[in-house]
Amino acid sequence: MRNRLRIVVADDHLLLVEAFQRIIEPAFKVVAKVTDGLALLDAVRTHEPDLALVDIAMPGMNGLDACEAIYRDWPRVRVIVLTGDASADVAAEAFRVGAWAFIVKSASPVELLDGLRAVAEGKKYLSRAIVGGDLGQLPLGMALPRWRDLSPREQEVAERVARGQTAKEIAADLGIGSRTVELHKYQAMKVFGVKTTSEFVQAVLKWKPP
């Protein structure tokens, strides 16, 4: 990878932090290693990384609360939750608070890298140890955080973008200006943490409730 994505690693066991660093480098650049949730937030504030690999059970602030804080204050930072708890309910909660991936610590180094690379490409990732890695099989109603974060108007615009409509067509349908459509689309893309229209469409199709 020519320009390595920058990542913060957080786990309350320093030995595991060091082990994770050895696994993920040189594919990713570790810019900070911390052992508690509050230090994680400080590291994200200081380094503004692309990714954060976060354990759930940490002192100061647990990983899920830290994930929610990062999603709220630094939405461009993509959080990968790493935990020993292979529970579908916990995984669903992690996605609900803004995580991009949920990986169990019993996973192989190859799967950890697969998950990190998927997130780097703007994709969600669920460890194969949980419902076969199928996000759609997580407990109903819990794994749809980002769609619910959109305003009703942003949802309307997102649905039409996913259908392939242009800004002009959407504007005509909704009785608003094309620039307003683009603004709603931009805000919705920020919520989903994507940068391109194709990534946005994929996110809408994945996270919009049936």
CATH number reported for the structural domain that contains residue 160 in this entry? 1.10.10.10
Length of the chain: 210
Round the average pLDDT of the chain to a whole number and report it.
88
Q: Can you tell me the distance from the alpha carbon of 119 to that of 117, in angstroms, rounded to the nearest whole number? A: 5
Locate the DSSP E strands across 62-181.
Answer: 78-83, 101-104, 125-126
Please give the residue range of the domain that contains residue 34.
6-137
Among 137, 166, 195, the domain boundary falls at: 137
**Same structural domain, 132 and 191:** no
Give the domain CATH number at 121: 3.40.50.2300
pTM check: above 0.85: no
Are both 107 and 153 inside the same structural domain? Answer: no
- Looking at the predicted structure, is the pLDDT value of residue 210 above 50? yes
Per cent of the chain over pLDDT 70 is: 93
Across residues 42-50, what is the average pLDDT? 96
Element (H, E) at 67: helix 63-73
Last residue of a domain, one of 86, 116, 137: 137
Q: Evaluate whether residue 108 is within a structural domain.
A: yes
- Would you state the pLDDT for residue 26? 86
- Residue 43 sits in the same domain as residue 119: yes
Considering the domain architecture, whether residues 57 and 129 belong to the same structural domain is answered as yes
The predicted pLDDT at position 143 comes to 42
- The reply to whether 88 and 188 lie within a common domain is no
Residue 122 falls inside a structural domain: yes
Q: In whole angstroms, what is the distance from residue 42 CA to residue 136 CA?
A: 34
Does 1 fall in a domain? no
The phi and psi torsions of 51 (rounded to 5 degrees) equal -135, 160
Do residues 106 and 198 share a domain?
no
- Count of domains forming the chain: 2
Helix ranges (DSSP H) in 74-151: 88-96, 109-120, 145-148
Note the pLDDT of residue 1.
41
Residue 60's pLDDT is 86
124 with 153, same domain: the answer is no
- Among 98, 120, 137, the domain-final residue is 137
- Clarify whether residues 24 and 103 are in a common domain: yes
Beta strands 101-104; 125-126: pairing state? parallel
pLDDT, average across residues 113-138? 90
- The pLDDT value given to residue 137: 82
20, 89: one domain:
yes
Specify whether 152 is located in the same domain as 195: yes
Can you tell me the distance from the alpha carbon of 127 to that of 100, in angstroms, rounded to the nearest whole number?
12
Q: Residue 51: helix, strand or coil by DSSP?
A: strand
